[in-house]
Amino acid sequence: MKYIINHSNDTAFNIALEEYAFKHLLDEDQIFLLWINKPSIIVGRHQNTIEEINRDYVRENGIEVVRRISGGGAVYHDLNNLNYTIISKEDENKAFDFKSFSTPVINTLAQLGVKAEFTGRNDLEIDGKKFCGNAQAYINGRIMHHGCLLFDVDLSVLANALKVSKDKFESKGVKSVRARVTNIVNELPEKITVEEFRDLLLEYMKKEYPEMTEYVFLSKN
């Protein structure tokens, strides 16, 4: 496994980097990335942005909107959100196994005393509250899985920036985004930063993949 070190908070660059790694670093059987974006909204490949975002709020608050190549819903990112990407060579029959790709996050949280569970909607939850959405893309024998972890995200901005359908509120019997999602930091017995959690997740991956090597992606590459 190759771990690509990337400290950029530029959303467009980070989305482009994982797509480049997915489509062009074909000699690598497995690739792992961790990345944090500035305030932005990432929309799925087939989504209509007009239906997914509150344009006036997004424009007034300088929130960047970027499209990814995978499907799934729109997600809000800020500097207290951690994203992870796993790219691997997979037979098409084994592709889209969301649960297996979510195991590193579940096990890292378990080490911190938090029980997280995978749901059939491709989400991760703690006590019934979503804290991670996942999406995947599959091209020519390669799968790219990425997850968006709410660590200490400003939920008020999330609620204002994204449109949430009335059906979601009514079907779950809740009146606010806060009732349906949670930040990881609120569930931890002992508080840590998003950077510390990132390092713990990386440490877990290094133990699981002792052959892991690191690569720094520079613009000249």
Tell me if 37 is assigned to some domain: yes
pLDDT of residue 171: 39
How buried is 74 (Cβ within 10 angstroms: 0-12 exposed, 13-18 middle, 19+ buried)? Answer: buried
Tell me if 24 is assigned to some domain: yes
| pTM of the predicted protein model | 0.89
Q: Is the dihedral of CA 131, 81, 44, 19 positive or negative?
A: negative
| 134, two tokens | 């996942």
Tell me if 221 is assigned to some domain: no
Tell me if 127 is assigned to some domain: yes
pLDDT in tens, 103-131: 999 999 999 999 999 987 789 999 999 99
Structural domain range at position 64: 2-216
Tell me if 141 is assigned to some domain: yes
Tell me if 73 is assigned to some domain: yes
pLDDT at 82 over 80: yes
120 or 65: which leads in pLDDT = 65
Q: Residues 61-65: what's their mean pLDDT? A: 96
pLDDT in tens, 146-198: 999 999 999 999 999 998 654 443 434 334 455 589 999 999 999 999 999 99
Number of domains in the chain: 1
Q: Rounded CA gap, 5 and 65, in Å?
A: 24
pLDDT of residue 126: 97
116 or 46: which leads in pLDDT = 116
Report the CATH number at residue 66. Answer: 3.30.930.10
pLDDT in tens, 5-38: 999 999 999 999 999 999 999 999 999 999 999 9
